[in-house]
Amino acid sequence: MAPDLIVLRLGELVLKGKNRHRFEKTVYEQIRKKLQPYDRLTFQRDFGRVYITLNGEPYEEIALRLKTILGLTSFSPVFTAPLELEAVQSVALEAMLKIGRVPDSFKVSVRRVNKSFPYDSQEMNQRVSAAVLRAIPGLKVDVHRPEVELKVELREERALIYSQVEAGAGGFPVGTNGKAMLMLSGGIDSPVAGFLAMRQGLRIEAVHFHSYPYTSERSQQKVKDLVGKLSEYGGDIKLHLVPFTDLQTRVHQSYNQNLLITILRRAMFRITEKLAEANEAMAIVTGESLGQVASQTLASMNVIGRAVDLPVIQPLICMEKQQIIDIAETIDTFAISIQPHEDCCTLFLPPSPSTNPNLRVVMSIEKQMAWLEEEMDRAAQMTETVWIHAGQESKFSSFF
């Protein structure tokens, strides 16, 4: 027995009034867009929910697509039955069996919308539970903390029955909270930071610094692949590829001591800020996690962050590496991130990078590089921008 429809719950219960309306409208548009290829589907909106009638379209494929929609909290495959006691009992049992394992406990929750149905919801709870208990030995009823809640809605024309709740990606629909620039390396962390930012409703544009020809075309392709994964959630994403070699070489020639990395990182932030201004973004997102590597001490981040006026958002700042890796696996970026690549930042590594830079010292070194501002402007101007589209062939994640 295949489900007949899907009920979708749109998220963020904290939202009220106008915001809520805008939120739901945007998620609904995303749903329609993602499911466009399935032209037999029909849609119905209803107070924070969407009902999709499958009309024979494949549930499993559609479920995978639904899991990439931000702002969608959860959804359930729904089975329908005619409004007759026995039919409802037998479909309810099927819905329980569909779970694929025998849960420890369950409870039936009947909602009688159609008041002409002969049994009230209390009576129906008992009659449906009894039928399920008879057929599944070992199952118990627990009304307080059931492992599975079997829901039965007695509507005007038919009964809707479901037991499974699949988690959606949650969060806010993309773009409802503004736009930010994501500093994206080829590593594990920054794509995860980008995903979390998108899930918080930010539209992102990715900025990647490369030191071509010291870093290969391949490492740029890797970044494009990562953006491709993110675009499964956020729609098409702009990727800015910044040529960093000239600036790096010039800085390196005039200063090669322990503050080199700090200075180069500040330059990266400044260039990102220039691109943000040109593209009307209002924040910078990075993948730093406190204490993870030498440059991610509080002192370092302080000196680097002060290179810019825009707020710097660091979604991973208090996360453990394993948590970050788990998310990377869920969104399917991990396998790409661990492919070997050269990072522009490792091009000129000073003998012992500072973990405790001093802002005044850093600024006085920068002052001596009178040409620095010009080099940064040039890097921003020479930046190549490409659109990355959500690839049809990409594997969708299915772990939420």
**In the complex, least distance from residue 188 CB atom to ligand ATP, rounded to whole angstroms:** 5
Query: Contacts with ligand ATP in 274-293 (CB under 6 A)?
Result: 286-288, 292-293
- Residue 187 is a binding residue for Mg ion (CB under 5 A): yes
Alpha-carbon distances of 107 from 100, 252, 372, 393, rounded to whole Å: 17, 68, 68, 41
Query: Distance between CA 251 and CA 258 in Å, rounded?
Result: 13
For the CB of residue 340, give the shortest distance to Mg ion in the complex, in Å: 12
Which CB sits closer to Mg ion, 151 or 210?
A: 210
Residue in 184, 226, 263, 283 binding ligand ATP, rule: CB under 6 A: 184
Residue 288 interface partner, choices ligand ATP, Mg ion, none, CB cut-off 5-8 Å depending on type: ligand ATP
Tell me if 296 is assigned to a ligand binding site.
yes
CB atoms within 10 A of CB 322: 7
Tokens of residue 348, six digits: 């000129």
Question: 208 labelled as ligand-binding?
Answer: yes
Residue that the structure tokens 């699949």 belong to? 166
Whether 316 has a binding-site annotation, put simply, is no
Exposure class string for 252-265: b at 16+ Cβ within 10 A, else e: eeeeeeebbbbbbb
| Closest separation in Å from C-beta 325 to ligand ATP | 10
* Cα 240-69-311 angle, rounded to 5 deg: 45
- Site for ligand ATP contains 295 (CB under 6 A): yes
Q: Which does 338 bind (CB under 5 to 8 A by kind): ligand ATP, Mg ion, none?
A: none
Counting contacts by CB under 6 A, is residue 300 touching ligand ATP?
no
Minimum gap (Å) between residue 226 Cβ and ligand ATP? 10
Q: By three-state DSSP, how is residue 165 classified?
A: coil
- The partner residues of 108 in beta bridges, in order of sequence, read 150
Q: Which of 385, 342, 344, 185 is nearest to 249 (CA)?
A: 344
Kindly state the smallest distance separating residue 269's Cβ from Mg ion, in Å: 15
Is 264 a binding residue for ligand ATP by CB under 6 A? The answer is: no
Residue 76 binding ligand ATP, by CB under 6 A: no
208: DSSP letter: E
DSSP string, 313-382: E-TTTT--HHHHHHHHHHTT-HHHHTS----GGGTT--SS--SS--HHHHHHHHHH-TTHHHHHHHHHHT
30 contacts which partner out of ligand ATP, Mg ion, none, CB within 5 to 8 A by kind? none
Please tell me whether residue 128 adopts helix, strand or coil conformation. helix
Which residue's CB is nearer to ligand ATP, number 63 or number 184? 184
List the one residue from 26, 80, 89, 185 that touches Mg ion (CB under 5 A): 185
Stretch that binds Mg ion, among 71-79, 149-157, 181-189, 352-360 (CB under 5 A): 181-189
- Residue 287 annotated as lining a ligand binding site: yes
Residues found near ligand ATP in the complex (CB under 6 A): 183-185, 187-190, 207-209, 286-288, 292-293, 295-296, 343-345
Binding-site residue ranges for ATP: 183-184, 208-209, 265, 287, 296
Binding-site residue ranges: 183-184, 208-209, 265, 287, 296
